Structure 1
């Protein structure tokens, strides 16, 4: 095996306590054009080579990228699906198989393969935790339970590394910093890697909190002042669930965990959130000091009434994002792994003024083809990434290949449309002049107000036949021009002010964008625009259309 000795060029001072890890960082300067997050108008966007970038992505299955031979034929297929970005694991056990010896052969090979297809990468650092468990640390970490202690549940250790172990955070952070320093060395000019996920779906499974001796001492001790100061300083902006729980117990700024938050599983979750956040923020900070790329953490979602421990307790659920923010600033985005049916509600819970929306894991296929329009249109999502994107590439992977093929085609159609529209869409996200929607029989219509005009969107009706579902987005270019994309819906316009001029459809064109310029196709009229009454979208395939309105009295 080809090992590389790696010495870090950036020193980081760490001081450890029973309640977490304190850190200081001095981010290393990066080359011009390095991927970064930037506030642009009404939203935060990912900037790549100085331009806003929309990630039309997919995440590989967990083990796919552990073999370069396995991945070699996959990249061309991924590019053909319309992806511009691939999310792929890079695991601690393969990067540092023996302590202090780093092997980046796999990392370099993945970068080379992605570049051949002009694809970008988001690396997932699977280290201390993945899906709440600890299966990805190297064997030398797993077997040394004295140096790297485990979580205790019901009096016994489980396969979860404890957050309250300074040696674990030190070893994890050191390996992550080595990875990031290597990426800076080999990718600072190409910018193949756009972002990095730190750990994966962290939290305690099987119990609401760690009951090891160190955790018991910390839980019985005072809540750290950094957390209570943050709660007090951000009182009005806190997640409503967290704020209500804190206020119900007197909004105290000092005391034990149960004195400040009460004696419940929700308090256990807040305690674990603080400790996971301190750990993950420290690891991320060490990585950023080596190469300052945007970094995020993802959450295995739990229902509003689901007890913590049934999902990973302490992960960045909406109710504890503020706890994570109080613990540090190295993590830029808190992201949902969004498989829940109430897609729109979860998007709204994660899209906050201080947290842009990025969806690193979600369903693909026909559902994903619809959801991506809503996410990027209504919540200015900077990226969308169905999980297991490579599964549909193998004809023997599923018994029902007809539905898989249909799903791949639908997602590819959506990605191709959005890629074509990306410059206009990103500009509209910045100005706030875009809305996305999901329509079905239970939610057949929606209204938006855009510059004084009510835009009414509804399921389309063709000769008495009502579409079962529809999806898309509408963005405004100038006072009288609108761009629509999607399928299965119709649009009408009315003035919001009854005394204003009425609005009619001057023209509707289907067409394409080429190098940012609109190339018109058919002029749609007659049955295709309901005799001038509605702007209509094909129920069979997502398309781009351009509508111009006129005003009259």
Structure 2
């Protein structure tokens, strides 16, 4: 890892996610070794960077592959989940610890508490470690529910009264997709007390998912709560998403299974997908937020889903190609994300490292304004434009947003060359002044006041930021004429211009990809 820090820091990255694996720190039961972790924390601290630790304990990607060997080899002491073979109907043991057996959660909890105590002891005075992800993409693959003996026993019992009562009292705040899964439950009289889970929630794959979600949430919550008692850091879980809101433009091989799934079991059943997000938010109170891993879905839709109940937004895994990096601007600019992490960023190809600098370097420079957007989301708007489809022009699929008393229309950047991708954030500095960040787009402004006769651009300046911590702006170039479409829009070109198709060189390449636009309105 020692050779990875410098290029990441040079790209403008200040925080990385790194795994702490149960099988590595407790190879022998009761004996803990944190030497490797200590080295990573020290390296990050020396470079004034931060860490978000990912606890690979009982679960990683719907499996229990990171549990220690002494756990793997003792299935009687540490029972596993069972699924029913779809062909033979026989039960099959899985490599997944059952969430219905106390010995499993107790062993995980013991290790996690030791980890959190150790982090407290070596880092509480420094704050290098910012937060912790508890487990990784939990849930059961291969079946909608666990069919082991302990799971079947729980399934044949009545659901906890706290769960039943809370779902009824919180009905108005539940996601529509969960309400659909709870149709049978909500049709029962409020005084009904069914004898088991089937009588309460019905007999469907989605009812099984509710059962698994509740028990996974309680299992993970118990571990997180114990960890917080040892050292109070924010804790979250991530999620392997279902196929809801899939991006149909992404072509996948038929054997592809990760990153989606049409029903519980094809994606990890019980994990905090949108359909059961409320279950996790209600019954895992020690988990501060649920974070989506986004690869194949429509990015902006998932971001909106995971602001449910106004929870903080973080994307611990996402695409790291240009398609994914452009979407960072939506996450930070329109949804106030705390963090968005392209997966495998430490193995980013050297030939493509300029992409990291292009995006993270600029995001780092405007970090003061990103924090302001988190505090006041109405002041920011993030967006991106992908490679154009056949027939698309610079003004195809414009984006509209109202900010204060102005209606903004954002299009791809105008050029006499090819239509190119673009990305950016617009931040409202004051009533009539806007900070434009990014490249490959144009912005038109129209006053929303009923008395307005005319709207125009008073001034456009390319700027730079002299101090990222304060966001102090300094003028770099005075822009007008072609750079404003003769006063019709603020144009933010890319740093590299496309070849001209018309021999009139009106395009000016961006230098800082930052500009301040002052607009005005003439009133009656």
| Residues 533 and 466 (structure 1), Cα distance of their counterparts in 2 relative to 1, 3 Å cut | farther
User: What's the CA shift for 1:233?
Assistant: 2.1
Number of the residue aligned with 2:243:
303
Corresponding residue number in structure 1 for 2:133: 197
* Aligned-partner Cα distance in 2 for 1:143–1:182: 27
User: 2:250 — aligned with what?
Assistant: none
Q: Does 1:119 pair with 2:59?
A: no
Tell me what 2:343 maps to: 387
Q: Relative contact order: is structure 1 or structure 2 higher (C-alpha 8 Å, sep ≥ 6)?
A: 1
Matched-pair contact (CA < 8 Å) for 2:182–2:207: no
Q: How far 1:439 sits from its partner (Å)?
A: 2.6
Displacement of 1:551 in angstroms is: 2.3
Q: TM-score, normalised by structure 1?
A: 0.82
Contact residue 358 and residue 381 of structure 1 kept, 8 A: yes
Instruction: Pick closer, same or farther for the CA change 1:411–1:444 going to 2, 3 Å.
Output: farther
Aligned length: 471
2:219 counterpart SS class: helix
The reply on whether 1:173 has 2:101 as its aligned counterpart is no
Matched residues in 1 for 2:39 and 2:111: separation?
19
Partner of residue 229, structure 2: 289
1:318 alignment partner, one of 274, 278, 289: 274
Alignment map for 1:380-419 (pairs within 5 Å): 380-393=336-349, 405-406=351-352, 408-419=353-364
For the residues of structure 1 that align with 2:336 and 2:483, how far apart are their CA atoms? 30
Question: 2:253 maps to which residue?
Answer: none
The reply on whether 1:215 has 2:215 as its aligned counterpart is no
- The residue that corresponds to 1:527 in the other structure is 482
Tell me how far 1:249 sits from its aligned partner: 4.2
Does 1:77 find its partner at 2:13?
A: no
1:102 aligns with 32
SS at match of 1:308: coil
Equivalent-residue separation in structure 2 for 1:339 and 1:230 (angstroms): 33
**Cα distance change, pair 501–411 in 1 and its aligned pair in 2 (3 A):** farther
CA distance in 2, matches of 1:248, 1:262: 6
Distance in 2 of aligned mates of 1:451 and 1:213? 60
Secondary structure class of the residue paired with 2:308: coil
CA distance in 1, matches of 2:345, 2:413: 31
Instruction: Please name the residue that 1:460 is paired with.
Output: 413
Q: Which residue of 2 aligns with 1:279?
A: 219
Question: Equivalences for 1:5-16 in 2 at 5 Å?
Answer: none
Which ranges in structure 1 are unaligned for 5 or more consecutive residues?
1-70, 396-404
Give a deviation string over 1:496-543, Cα, whole Å, max 9, x none. Answer: 234235321111111221222101111111212211211011134681
The separation in 1 between residues aligned to 2:490 and 2:109, in whole angstroms, is 54
d(CA) in 1 for partners of 2:37, 2:342 = 22
Does residue 544 of the first structure (1) align with residue 474 of the second (2)?
no
8 Å contact 1:150–1:161 — kept in the other structure?
yes
Question: Residue 353 of structure 1 aligns to a residue in which SS?
Answer: helix
State how 1:3-402 maps to structure 2 within 5 Å. 71-154=1-84, 155-252=91-188, 254-255=193-194, 256-304=196-244, 306-393=262-349
For residues 235 and 136 of structure 1, the distance between their equivalents in structure 2, rounded to whole angstroms, comes to: 37
Which of 365, 370, 376 aligns to 1:420? It is 365
Alpha-carbon distance in structure 2 between the residues aligned to 1:335 and 1:522: 41
1:245/1:153 CA distance change after superposition, 3 Å: closer
* Structure 2 residue ranges without an equivalent (≥5): 85-90, 245-260, 390-395, 497-511
CA distance in 2, matches of 1:430, 1:467: 35
Task: Point out the more displaced range, 522-531 or 533-542.
Answer: 533-542
> For residues 288-333 of structure 1, what are the alpha-carbon distances to aligned partners after superposition, in whole Å with 9 as ceiling and x for unaligned?
0011100000001111370111111111101111111232310001
Higher mean C-alpha displacement, 73-82 vs 202-211: 73-82
Contact 2:492–2:513 (Cα < 8 Å) also in 1: yes
Aligned residues: CA RMSD: 1.7
Report the Cα distance in structure 2 between the residues aligned to 1:157 and 1:270, rounded to whole angstroms: 22
CA contact (8 A) 2:120 2:231 kept: yes
Q: Distance in 2 between matches of 1:307 and 1:544?
A: 45
Q: Deviations over 1:452-502 (max 9, x none)?
A: 210111112212x46242221111011111011121110011012342353
Name the stretch that deviates more: 189-198 or 225-234: 225-234
How far did 1:377 drift? 0.8
Q: What is residue 427 of structure 2 aligned with on the other side?
A: 475
Q: Is the Cα–Cα contact under 8 Å of residues 220 and 284 in structure 2 kept in the other structure?
A: no
Query: Once superposed, which parts of structure 1, at least 4 consecutive aligned residues long, lie more than 6 Å away?
Result: none
Q: Check conservation: 1:122, 1:193, Cα contact below 8 A.
A: yes
| Match of residue 447 from structure 1 | 400
